[in-house]
Structure 1
Amino acid sequence: MNRIASPTVPTLVSKAFSAMIWLVVLALPAAPLLADDHDPAEAAESPQARQSVTEHSIRIDGQRVDYTATVGWLIMEEDDKPIARFGYTAYNRKGDYGPAERPIVFAFNGGPGSSSLWLHMGILGPQRVVVNDAGYADPPPAKRVDNEFSIIDIADLVMIDPVGTGFSRPLGEAEGKQFWGVDQDIESVAAFIKRYITEHGLWAAPKFILGESYGGVRGAGLAHHLQSRHGMNLNGLILVSPFIDTAAGRDGGGLDLPHALFLPSFAATAWYHEALADRPDNLEPFLDEVETFALEEYLPALTAGYTIDPGRKREIAERAAAYTGTTTDYWMKADLRVDHQQFLQELERNNRLIAGRIDSRFIGPSVNPLAESMDYDPFFPAVGPAYTAAFFDYLHNELEFGRDEEYKTTAWPLDWDWSHRDPDGNRQVAVNLLPDLSRAMIMNPGLKLHIQQGYYDLATPFAATNYYIRHLDIPAEARERIRYDLYPAGHMMYLHEESMQAYRDDLAAFIVDAIPR
């Protein structure tokens, strides 16, 4: 690795770092970042952009790839006043490339309130964390290796940390509430993308956005906002385990539809843990059967409410129990409505174990076997500390940045504004970015959509993703521009070693296909 100086921004060699925190939907419990949580001293100075640029090489598909890594932040302004510093890490392949030759991918995690740590160190960046699939990581030191599954051989990459996460902070008189909301977040990330594209002369380059989890809301919104507000068309939008519509993708809120969309993921989890009395050999046909039952029989039973025939209710409970490795009495006591946190506690209750929400292949001891809902998500203690330690080691010692600054892996809990105006200006009661995504695909006939989803994901279940695709209000031609890949893994399918190569191959093929020849 060689250290090189930036021609425009002072380089930084850092000295110390302060806190370590964890993530939300893709996160571990963290110290709260409140709406006014930024350093008042920053308002007294004229803030400056900072960055560190280093040179590296890696082998991908047997080929040496030389690249530069740039980590730092830009200063965002409004009315000629600084309002935020916006942190990022960029990877650019070295070579004599013109401004339109290299595609560029802007990527982020979700939350809302998560930094880009997971995608960065899990699959996209040139380094990745080594963990034990569906099991606890080894004790320290955390293992970090060259990532042969990275996409930096075919595309330049910018990992984005929205305001409040990473090194990104409100500045001056700006407050967190100017950034922490569905529309506020979309606007601020779009402003950063436009600024980055402009400063680097990349308006002619093929452009992609990749978002995970709540990144589905952000990504769908950006596809429309960049197009309608900034005149920037995307070549491709990649949504990883997306959350897009609150009325479909969030259970436990009194709505019937989410219960039906979560049921197939319950079945997948029971199948994986061999909790089914009559376990079929093949997962996919079994899940097709369960999804059909969920939508055609279970959902109508829920919508019938108290008018459902008692015999029919028990029949539905029996089938739900058979599909999910639980009991008929459990479903009857729940009035047929079991949310995912209840199910994950119930599945292995007799063994004093709970299954994971982010990835239900993970399992851990229950703190309270009598609890109605899961005590914690065993996914996080299994892999979270390894990711955190490996990332900070990489940031401080290879990228040579951030020892004197706090990198916030999460900004949770946030006072998030869950309101949204759709493309026609209507304020939504329940946030749903499907209209934004539909409008973007209609108005940009070159926009292609790639969705990557895991079967064992109980944060954003695959049947909800199926529902999103079916409810995009687009013409038949536009549906030909959708690619959908499923993996035998969880929310972060790239933790599953056998899925890493497939993830990389699918993503690379999509990027290449989305660029006109």
Structure 2
Amino acid sequence: MSRNWLIQSVALAALCVFLPLGVARADDPAPAAPPSSKAAAPHFTPKQVLSDGSVTVRGQKIDYQAASGTLVVHPRGWNDSDSADGKNPSAEASMFYVAYFKKGVRPENRPITFVYNGGPGSATVWLHMGALGPRRVVTANDTHTDAAPYKLINNDDSLLDATDLVFIDAPGTGFGRIAGKDANKEFYGTDPDAYAFTNFISQFLARYNRFQSPKYLFGESYGTTRSAILANELASEKQIDLNGVILLSQILDYDNSVDEPENNPSVDQPYVLALPTYAATAFYHHKLPGTAPTDLRAFLDEVERFSLGDYNAALQQGTALSEADRDRIADRLYQYTGIPAAYWRKARLRVNGGEFAQTLLGADSMDTGRLDSRFAGFAIDPLSQRPEYDPMNASMASAYLSAFNDYARRVLHYDDAGPTGGDFLEYKASANNIREWAFKHQLPHVLRASNGAPNVLPDLAAAMITNPKLHVQLNQGFFDLGTPYFEGVFEMRHLPIPASLAGNVEIKQYQSGHMVYANQEALHQLHDNAADFIRRTDNESAASTAPVRN
């Protein structure tokens, strides 16, 4: 993400497997692999491995074919003559994916959803292994998960009951790689990344003949930033309209981030939008003074009103705020967060996300999690300004990566040998490219790209205006310090769209964190909300009723 602490933590997701998948049978219909081109030869060629499986979702058995492999994408402006001689090959990326196709249905009647995590520079192992795929790895709800062996189970909350799924790893992650001249520059940036995904999706639709299918994007964290750009670029550059966009733990305007907002003085909005999450976290850890509220939602409604009202007004006054008003606001902040009023006064009423995470449980030398503040971990440096690691990430990452490495080789039968054979590739959860990431973004209908923190609200708005039937669902957890839930609400209310399109946006909230699905009850709700959203917007009633092909 745009702030250091925000972008150093990668959002997690999951997929598990327990039932074995067989190698694809000869009589199974399989799309032919596209012929390799001379231009692709210097580095990568597309790859595909097929296998079969089944999952049971809410009592319904779903048989599917899985396709794991890579597609090769190039930067914007690429010309195949650039690599023809093989002497100075241009940049290209081999992007790894795992797709699941329900058997026995017509493709044009079956929605397809493209799924990715964020980072930026994160693989999609997290959403794959923890939320939407046919298998799920079992992790602890709000504490550290025990070390291996990890348990993989049938995912009763897989979205395969509502849509086919394509899990896409970002360039340089998973079993994918980048290579060629200026490869880092050509793929590691807001706009280059979005173009790579646009290229990937258009290729995928052609390879698997899915242009007629209802189409959806499902992005988490920085993946929501990517989705806003993708929704507009797919329509404007590829003439591909989407049925819907599902956002999970949103950040579209990076000036709203509560990670180090002190570096952007005079912009107080991040503090205002993060306060309800501070209050939810204090509620969860029983740190609120006096008699604790019994209804979290009603409590947060009160905090939201205070945030937009008295708190916002006080911050806007800056040094003109009277001492009496400063003390009054500090006392209210103590009541809502459990952080002492003296600390709030010393902080000039402005506490960033890292300071809050380090201070709330500081008396016990514990820090809260950033991606999920329900988690807590021992502080490495109790005197530091912010935590040195994220307790949630530390508690779950091993389970997700171990589960997927086993699943890819044993179940998907994916041969991950390098492009020339020999050594096996490492499955990379992250490209570790945040220091190289160019956040420069070219807004729609603006001649010059912005060098500041990206704001992609105009991109999503452009997609909705040019396609008034496009629907958006925002899902968010109350205990997310990385992308606070009220920030997402605020951004959705400030999309530059006609008021008549505001009804195309819906918001679902959960008592969980950034990875909403880390809480099993919240995962169950997330499935129901996302599946319902797809079924309401897939236009299936108008689709052909011709016989299906098995």
Structure 2-normalised TM-score? Answer: 0.85
Shift of the alpha carbon at 1:7?
Answer: 6.0
Equivalence for 1:168: 176
Q: Distance in 2 between matches of 1:320 and 1:406?
A: 47
C-alpha spacing 1:75/1:286, structure 2 compared with 1 (3 Å): same
The residue type equivalent to 1:454 in the other structure is G
Alpha-carbon displacement from aligned partner over 1:57-94 (angstroms, at most 9, x marks no partner)? 12112121111111110122532247221211101111
Task: Identify the match of residue 445 of structure 1 among 468, 475, 489.
Answer: 468
% identical equivalent positions = 39
Aligned match of 2:445 in 416, 421, 424? 424
Q: CA deviation at 1:177?
A: 1.0
Q: What is the number of residues matched between the two proteins?
A: 485
Contact 1:356–1:377 (8 Å) recurs in 2: yes
Q: What is the CA-CA distance between 1:47 and the residue it aligns to? A: 2.7
What residue is the counterpart of 1:60 in the other structure? 57
Summarize the Cα distance change of 1:94–1:174 in structure 2 as closer, same or farther, 3 Å threshold.
farther
| Match of residue 228, structure 1, among 236, 240, 250 | 236
Of 144, 161, 166, the match for 1:158? 166
- 1:98 is aligned, of 102, 106, 111, to 106
Confirm or deny that 1:147 pairs with 2:147.
no
| Aligned mates of 1:251, 1:299 — CA distance in 2 | 18
* 1:152-197 residue CA offsets vs partner (Å, 9 max, x unmatched): 1221110011111112222333512111111111111001101111
How far does residue 43 in structure 1 lie from its aligned partner after superposition? Answer: 8.9
How do residues 316-335 of structure 1 correspond to structure 2 at under 5 angstroms?
A: 316-335=329-348
Aligned to 2:544: none
Write the distance in 2 (CA, Å) between the matches of 1:162 and 1:399.
20
Give 1:372 deviation, angstroms.
2.2
| AA in 1 matched with 2:332 | R
Partners of 1:111 and 1:502 lie apart in 2 by 24
Per-residue CA deviation, residues 379-438 of structure 1 (Å, 9 max, x unaligned), is 112111111111111111111112622221101133111111111124333311101111
For 1:280-299, list aligned pairs within 5 A: 280-299=293-312
Q: What is the CA–CA distance in structure 2 between the aligned matches of 1:7 and 1:223, rounded to whole Å?
A: 26
For the residue of structure 2 that corresponds to 1:480, the secondary structure is helix
Please give the alpha-carbon distance, in whole angstroms, between the structure 2 residues aligned to 1:459 and 1:365: 19
Partner SS state of residue 23, structure 2: strand
Assess if the C-alpha contact under 8 Å between 2:258 and 2:352 holds in 1: no
Segments of structure 2 that go 5 or more residues without pairing to the other structure are 1-20, 84-89, 418-423, 542-550
Q: Secondary structure at the match of 2:479?
A: coil
Give the match for residue 36 of structure 1: none
Q: Which piece of structure 1 moves more, 380-389 or 402-411?
A: 402-411
Q: Which amino acid aligns with 2:400?
A: Y
Distance in 1, Cα, partners of 2:31 & 2:385: 58
Aligned pairs for 1:43-82 within 5 A: 45=42, 47-77=44-74, 78-80=78-80, 81=83
State the 1:44 CA deviation: 7.5
Retained in 2: the 8 A contact 1:43–1:173? no
The 8 Å contact of residues 43 and 172 in structure 1, kept in 2 or not, is answered as: no
* 1:209–1:237 contact (8 Å) kept in structure 2: yes
Question: Separation in 1 of the partners of 2:217 and 2:147?
Answer: 35
Does the alignment pair 1:491 with 2:514? yes
- Residue 203 of structure 2: aligned partner: 195
What is the Cα deviation at residue 296 of structure 1?
A: 1.1
**Any idea what the Cα deviations from partners look like across 1:460-496, whole Å, max 9, x if unmatched?**
0011011111101112221111121000000011110
Amino acid at match of 1:208: Y
CA distance in 1, matches of 2:393, 2:191: 29
Q: Which one-letter code corresponds to 2:442 in the other structure?
A: R
> Does the Cα contact within 8 Å between 2:33 and 2:207 map onto a contact in 1?
no
In structure 2, what is the Cα distance between the partners aligned to 1:497 and 1:297?
A: 37
In the TM superposition, residue 136 of structure 1 has moved relative to its aligned partner by 1.3
Structure 2 Cα separation of the partners of residues 197 and 222 of structure 1:
15
Of 72-81 and 176-185, deviating more is: 72-81
Long gaps (5+) in structure 1:
11-41
Question: SS at the partner of 1:304?
Answer: helix
Aligned to 1:8: 32
Q: What letter is aligned with 1:309? A: S
Against the structure 1 CA distance between its residues 9 and 406, is the aligned structure 2 distance closer, same or farther, given a 3 Å change threshold?
A: farther
Q: Name the SS of the counterpart of 2:64 in structure 1.
A: strand
Change (3 A) 1:237 1:303: same
Which of the numbers 280, 297, 316 marks the counterpart of 1:268?
280
Q: Take 2:226 and 2:53, find their aligned partners in 1: how far apart are those partners? A: 31
Say which is worse superposed, 74-83 or 261-270, in terms of deviation. Answer: 74-83
Confirm or deny: 8 A CA contact 2:258 2:353 kept in the other structure: no
Mapped to 2, the partners of 1:47 and 1:351 lie a distance apart of 52
Distance apart, 1:46 and its partner CA = 5.6
Aligned residue number for residue 95 of structure 2: 86
Does 1:410 find its partner at 2:430?
yes
Residue 109 of structure 2 aligns to a residue in which SS?
coil
CA distance in 1, matches of 2:257, 2:527: 26
Q: Which residue of 1 aligns with 2:115?
A: 107
**CA–CA distance in 1 between the matches of 2:488 and 2:180?**
40
Q: For 1:435 and 1:169, locate their aligned partners in 2 and report how far apart those are by CA, in whole Å.
A: 31
TM-score, normalization by structure 1: 0.91
Partner of 1:380: 393
Does the CA-based 8 Å contact 1:43-1:171 persist in structure 2? Answer: no
1:455 to 473, 478, 489: 478
